[in-house]
Amino acid sequence: QKEVEQNSGPLSVPEGAIASLNCTYSDRVSQSFFWYRQYSGKSPELIMSIYSNGDKEDGRFTAQLNKASQYVSLLIRDSQPSDSATYLCAAANFGNEKLTFGTGTRLTIIP
């Protein structure tokens, strides 16, 4: 079983709708979680980090963490064509500086 799992997609969402990206992790000691956006041919770019249970909002992005269910999600409100990219979920354990990445979900926003 992979430590961080994501649905590879592709996920297609109409412009203006809410895109919901999901990630599960297997290691219960994971404490820090990150969402990266990667455009085709480019390197990953950090968009959100979350450490506590609940929601964290930043502009059109909301990260949600549920440690009991070992589940992290990213919501993108008012989706724009520029949001079309692969979204990578990553987790880190306490005392461990390494990130473990999922394989990413490809998101396409349809105009």
- Binding residues for other proteins, rule: CB under 8 A, are 8, 32, 34, 42-46, 49, 88, 90, 92, 97-99, 101-104
CA distance 92 to 109: 29
CA distance 11 to 26: 23
Helix (DSSP H) and strand (DSSP E) numbers for the chain: 0, 11
With respect to other proteins, which residue has the nearer C-beta, 97 or 111?
A: 97
Give me the least distance between CB of 72 and other proteins, in Å please. 14
With respect to other proteins, which residue has the nearer C-beta, 79 or 86?
A: 86
With respect to other proteins, which residue has the nearer C-beta, 17 or 42?
A: 42
